[in-house]
Structure 1
Amino acid sequence: MSETPPDSASPAAERRYDVVVIGSGPAAGTVVSGLKDSGKRVAAVDRRRFGGTCALRGCNPKKVLLNAAKVVDAARRSHGVMVEGGNTVDIDWPRLHAFQTSFTDPVPPSRVDQFREAGADCFAGNARFTAADTLVVEPWDVPGGDVPAGDVPGGEVPAGEGGAAPITLRFEQVVIATGSIPVPIDVPGKERLTLSDQFLDVADVPERIVFIGGGYISLEFAHALLRADREVTILEATPHILDPFDHVLADRLADRTRGLGARIECGVKLTAIEDAPDGSLIAVAERENGADGETLRISCDAVVHGAGRTPAVESLACDAAGIDCDEQGVTVTDELVSTSNSRVFAAGDCAGLGHPMLTPVAEAHGDAVVQAILTGTPAAPNVSPLPSAAFTEPELAAVGLTAKEAEEQGVAFDLLEADIGTKGALRKRCEPCAGYRLLLEPKTGKLLGAHLLGPDMAELINLFAVAMKHGLTLADLVAVPLTYPSLAAEILQDAFDQAEQSASTGASKAGLS
């Protein structure tokens, strides 16, 4: 706990802490909880409502929308085959939004309570470094949930409440866990862009939406909106959606998404957002194929930013503390220690190690920082193998190397792949869009990578992550009695049969071309 502070209304108010944590998402939460009972004086600072992006503006609320899409999609796929009336099932977006907020609204007070129970003081406002061991928490004037500086009032962080004067915090160590923000898109009309977290705040959604970027943010939103019968367009600058997922399966998912009614344009770049005479918008894009590039003009009601995120460190004034940063975030050692200020750790999306911006990574970073603070011996976080998923419907999931990555790194592999949409487990679900691609070490049969497309693959990929973690072979997995009939049993047996056939023919790469 902190020592008794001076009058916090004074501009010179100062408090001293052993550890200050900037942020309140999964990395920050892991650090604060991990320092409970350590005897250290801890403070937590966030410029927005406590809880972080994942819980409030990202994964968790978006998953509520996608669960609705899953229900609707299953009903529609089954219409005329297993059920009647499935094609009339639709998403009630205002009701769905209300259900979504039932998960997000309790987060800020709960997170503040969690931090305080761990012995941390909580401050609402923007942190700005003023020296190598000092930062100021000051008012933040951006609307939409940001808050002024001061102690968090009443366990909540509503806009317009809290102390109005800057507060100085001195620290022995500081953990920068500020997460990420959308990558700036600098085109004429950029002020008309809707950010993904703003989109989650909308109680109802317009009829025509253009998504900029073809990553998981855009695809997941698109799959919810398509089941709500909205008109969706996705503009992606690269040749494939969902890079760096396996391109073969990602392309199959793109075809499935087009089949749901989406327009997907790859190899195009947004150049402007214009107002239309009727009050709607026009997204202007150029097809990037040289001097003869085609101009696309797409009428819509909203243009949503889904073109990636960047570390949220710019507002921290890191230079004042001698903290080096680059486009990947805070420049750190493999052990998450700043290379230029040894008092400083960075964790999660803003740690400049190039790790994926995923919640399990942030939590692993937080664990490593806690151990370094408690023991004085920094250690690298354990973030491999790392499964990931796009929660579309069907889902695309991955762990380990893709075939492209293996080839680029010169890693030998056997490839096992199949379209399983006509096989029993998927046919019973009326889902033809399903497949797998497995990469095996040629001599040992150990898994190098697993890539799955189909319903519930975000769950099944965890089996392959465990296998990779413990160095299991495909034969080891097949030897385990699994529930039957199930997707896991069907995929593993199909892949094992392929491997056996490949071994008998002496092929260097098993499977389909």
Structure 2
Amino acid sequence: MEEKKFDVFVIGSGIAGQTVAKACIEAGKKVAIADNREFGGTCSNRGCDPKKILLSAIEAFEATQNLTGKGISKPAKIDWKQLQKFKKGFTSTIPASTEKKLKEIGVKLFHQSPKFLDEQTLLVEGKKVIASHIVIATGQVPRTLSIPGAKHFEISDDFLNLKKLSKRIVFVGAGYIGMEFAHMAARAGAEVTVMDSGKRPLHSFDADLVKELKKYSESLGIKFIFGAKPTALKKKRKRFKLSYEVKGDEKILETYAVFNTTGRVPALESLDLEKGNVNFSDIGVETNNFLQSTSNSIVYACGDVSDKNLPLTPLSGRQGYVVAENILNGNSKNLEVPVIPSVVFTLPNLASVGYSEEEAISRYKNTKVNFQVATGWFNAKRINAPLYAYKIIMNKRTGEIVGAHLLGPDAGETINIFAMAINNNMTDKDIKSTIFSYPSWINDIKSMV
């Protein structure tokens, strides 16, 4: 069997893996990178980017619908087929351009998921590979549901590539993905049901704002079923029968499409990590503060697959830089993570950064919480936005902003100002004394603190 040697072997071609590969190549190392899917990773091929492209038309539709009779004579119509064609103009070039860039700088490419043979040896494309350092950057994959007929579930990849939108759709899981897709599908004309085992959608976000978002989602025609456990999925000619249990009662829901949106898990199953003496858990590869495997010192993990993960592309890039630095300079850099904003790209956006209300109350003796549904404010009224709300949390003694939660148009942009404020220990007075452009969404934050 052919045997190859590399200084650094990277598994996964997303932003984290690419960052490591480029830095190590620039330092003169012999580097290879492997991926069993299209090069470029999840975000650009089948995640954040294509999702936001589909959302562009939904945003335009929403704007015209809200202003119908107020300067717009009739709302726009969504042409799903044209929208998918527009999206492919962005995504179709990603794999080839990623491969070209990596080849041009001297990275050896493999198109298969490697398997560990021992602590330092991999098997890939029928070849043995010995590497001085191995970097696992495989990202995450959809969580599987172990019920009869589970093979009939479609996943986020399928939704993002739908040639035709079904008339009736069920999303099993009311997290980021399920809620974002539900908002798209409902506005594009589908009858949408969102099912979840919990008591509410988006359990990691502020309960008061989620309550407002849920109420508005229902006004779009989205139906919710909570406390539901799927038990079986059967395919009938053109329909599906989803059996589920609520409070011990068995029920059946008929639909034309069913998507598993229950979340994502680290993509580790095919690597044979046990043979490589790489410890891992449900949340990812077990690493120290250098992102080095706790059990195999030549292995590092970065991005969504490490146990230091947050499923956010900017953090993946930062982790890639940390891993490259530690490979090249002998564990010289700890992973330091600033406060990072999270956004659910429903319409309106739901955005969050810093502490929740509960966390802040448990941490500080005196906490100030400003919560308001502000749909009557000028910026919301200007575009006839149906929902605008916020909850800002401050340390009452110092005036420092410690948490911000926004629900409204452009909340995904405005939250970045609060991230900067929290990371720089800014107070309510600092915000109020800053002159922003007017009238802008960001200027509204002076009235929130």
| Amino acid of the structure 2 residue aligned with 1:100 | K
Shift of 1:262: 0.6
2:214 aligned to which of 230, 248, 254? 254
The alpha carbon displacement at 1:319 in A equals 0.9
Secondary structure in 1 aligned to 2:117?
Answer: strand
In structure 2, do the counterparts of structure 1 residues 294 and 421 end up closer, same or farther at CA, with 3 Å as the change threshold? farther
Following the alignment from structure 2 to structure 1, what is the Cα–Cα distance between the partners of residues 365 and 166? 47
- 2:55 equivalent to 1:102: no
The residue aligned with 2:241 is 282
Counterpart for residue 337 of structure 2: 383
> 2: CA distance between counterparts of 1:106 and 1:215?
29
**Counterpart Cα distance in 1 of 2:365 and 2:321:** 31
Determine if the alignment matches structure 1 residue 364 to structure 2 residue 318: yes
Gaps of at least 5 residues in structure 2 are: none
Compute the RMSD of aligned alpha carbons: 1.4
**Which structure 2 residues correspond to residues 418-497 of structure 1 after superposition, within 5 A?**
418-492=372-446, 494-496=447-449
How far, CA to CA, are the matches of 2:395 and 2:219 in structure 1?
36
1:322 Cα offset (Å): 0.8
Cα distance in 1 between the residues matched to 2:72 and 2:224: 31
Highest CA radius of gyration, 1 or 2? 1
The residue identity in structure 2 corresponding to 1:41 is: K
Q: What is the correspondence of 1:99-498 to structure 2 with a 5 Å cutoff?
A: 99-138=86-125, 166-276=126-236, 279-287=238-246, 289=247, 293-353=248-308, 355-407=309-361, 412-492=366-446, 494-496=447-449
Residue of 39, 44, 48 corresponding to 2:37: 48
SS at match of 2:403: strand
Q: Which amino acid aligns with 1:296?
A: K
AA in 1 matched with 2:91:
T
User: Secondary structure at the residue paired with 1:36?
Assistant: helix
Structure 2 contact 209–389 (Cα < 8 Å) conserved: yes
Task: Give the C-alpha shift of residue 373 in structure 1.
Answer: 1.4
Deviation track 1:323-354 (CA, whole Å, cap 9, x = no partner) reads 1111111111122110000000001111013x
1:198 positional shift = 2.1
Identity of aligned residues (%): 35
Q: Matched residues in 1 for 2:414 and 2:324: separation?
A: 31
Q: Per the alignment, do residues 167 and 408 of structure 1 end up closer, same or farther by CA in structure 2, a change over 3 Å counting?
A: farther
CA 1:70 to 1:126, structure 2 compared with 1: closer, same or farther past 3 Å?
A: same
Separation in structure 2 between the aligned mates of residue 430 and residue 402 of structure 1, nearest angstrom: 29
Conserved? CA contact 1:234–1:265, under 8 Å: yes
**How far off is 1:97 after superposition?**
0.7
Deviation, structure 1 residue 474: 1.6
Give the letter for the 1:198 counterpart.
D
Structure 2 CA distance for aligned equivalents of residues 260 and 69 of structure 1: 13
| Contact 2:290/2:331, CA 8 A, preserved across alignment | no
In structure 2, C-alpha distance between the alignment counterparts of 1:410 and 1:133, rounded to whole Å? 48
Counterpart amino acid of 2:13? S
Give how far 1:296 is off. Answer: 3.3
SS at match of 1:315: helix
C-alpha separation in 2, matches of 1:68 and 1:404:
37
Contact 1:32-1:118 at 8 Å conserved across structures: no
The offset of 1:33, in angstroms, is 2.1
Give the superposition deviation at 1:169: 1.4
Gaps of 5+ in 1: 1-11, 139-165, 497-513
Aligned length: 449
SS at match of 1:453: strand
Q: 1:412 to 1:347 in 2, by over 3 A?
A: farther
3-state SS in 2 of match to 1:27: helix
Structure 1 CA distance, aligned partners of 2:291 and 2:149?
A: 38
Answer whether contact 2:392 2:404 (CA < 8 A) is retained: yes
Partners of 2:365 and 2:123 in 1: CA distance = 49
Aligned counterparts of 2:280 and 2:365: Cα–Cα separation in 1: 32
One-letter amino acid of the counterpart of residue 77, structure 1: N
> Can you list the C-alpha shifts for 1:473-493, whole angstroms capped at 9, x where unaligned?
12101111101111221232x
Aligned partner letter, 2:64: A
In 2, Cα distance between the equivalents of 1:332 and 1:411? 34
2:259 aligned partner, one-letter code: V
Alpha-carbon distance between aligned partners in 1 of 2:238 and 2:166, rounded to the nearest angstrom: 13
2:2 is equivalent to residue 13 of structure 1? yes
Instruction: Report the CA distance between 1:471 and its aligned residue.
Output: 1.0
User: Offset at 1:98?
Assistant: 0.9
Range with greater deviation from structure 2 (401-410 or 63-72): 401-410
Question: Are the equivalent residues in 2 in contact too, given 1:332–1:338 (CA < 8 A)?
Answer: yes
Residue aligned with 2:384, SS = coil
Whole-Å Cα distance in 1 between the matches of residues 176 and 354 of structure 2? 18
Summarize the alignment of residues 490-509 of structure 1 with structure 2, pairs less than 5 Å apart.
490-492=444-446, 494-496=447-449
TM-score (norm 2): 0.97
